[in-house]
Amino acid sequence: MQITLMQHTSLEICAHAIRTCWQSFENSDNGDIKDKELINRVGNKFKHSSTLEHLTYTFYISGISRALLQELARHRMASPSVKSTRYTLKELKDEDSFTDGLSAAELINKYKNPTEVYADKHMIRANKYLVFTDVLSVDFSSVIALENLRLILLDGIGNDKAKYCLPESYKTELTWTINARSLQNFINLRSSKSALWEIRNLSKELFNNLPKEHQYLFDQFIN
């Protein structure tokens, strides 16, 4: 998983929006520190959190599974632009076999320990397309599904129908824009130990990629 913060709104914009409500622009002379205190007081402590919607963040997120992508879709107050399987599945057509004709059980029996498994050249190549869980039976089954998809594409089946064979572990990427209010909710829910392990990792990485001067608005929401 890789995350890049592409753009963010300055705290000054949010502070200006808050001061618009009370016409208190004369109190902005003390600069960034006073802005930060104002935003935290109004947005978090007083719960006028709609003012935090003036802060937006755009992330480029890559190397996540389609299982995680489904979880992201539940957060409606965000704008995702996702890598299209309709146009990009051709990336598999030039790959060699990921299994050499072996079944999942045969793949498991081929290795003596997990370290040996994930160091195998076929698994390294498959990991370019799949998110691994470190559960061997699950990951081998994903590799089998990936190989089946590759063969279907080579048979000339169009992407629109071939993509129905995609495993949930298939990697995707997206550009994702979200406002601070919604991101607080996301981090609060998705950093919980009961959340999907992959989205839990994502929530923490999103926080880590926020500008340092913005993190104080979110640190209380991390579980």
Domain coordinates in residue numbering, the chain: 2-83+172-221, 89-165
Those residues whose C-beta lies under 8 Å from the C-beta of residue 154, and which sit 6 or more positions away, are 93
How many whole angstroms separate alpha carbon 159 and alpha carbon 165?
10
Q: Alpha carbon of 118 to those of 29, 68, 143, 147, 171: distances in Å? A: 58, 22, 12, 17, 17
pLDDT, tens digit, for every residue of 167-193?
999 999 999 999 999 999 999 999 999
Residue 114 reports pLDDT greater than 90? no
pLDDT of 29 reads: 56
Q: Alpha carbon of 94 to those of 89, 97, 98, 122, 150: distances in Å? A: 11, 10, 12, 14, 9
Task: Tell me the pTM.
Answer: 0.88
Residue 12 reports pLDDT greater than 60? yes
pLDDT of 192 reads: 93
What CATH fold (topology level) applies to the domain 2-83+172-221?
Gyrase A; domain 2 (3.30.1360)
What single-letter DSSP state applies at residue 77?
A: S
How much of the chain exceeds pLDDT 70, in percent? Answer: 92
- The pLDDT confidence band at residue 31, using thresholds 50, 70 and 90, is low
Locate 52 and state its tokens: 């935090």
Active-site residue, from 76, 181, 190, 200 = 190
The mean of the pLDDT values for the chain is: 89
- The pLDDT confidence band at residue 101, using thresholds 50, 70 and 90, is confident
Q: At what angle do helices 197-209 and 180-190 cross, to 10 degrees?
A: 140
pLDDT of 112 reads: 64
- Known catalytic residue at 190: yes
How many whole angstroms separate alpha carbon 168 and alpha carbon 186?
22
Task: Tell me how far the alpha carbon of residue 141 is from its chain's centroid.
Answer: 23
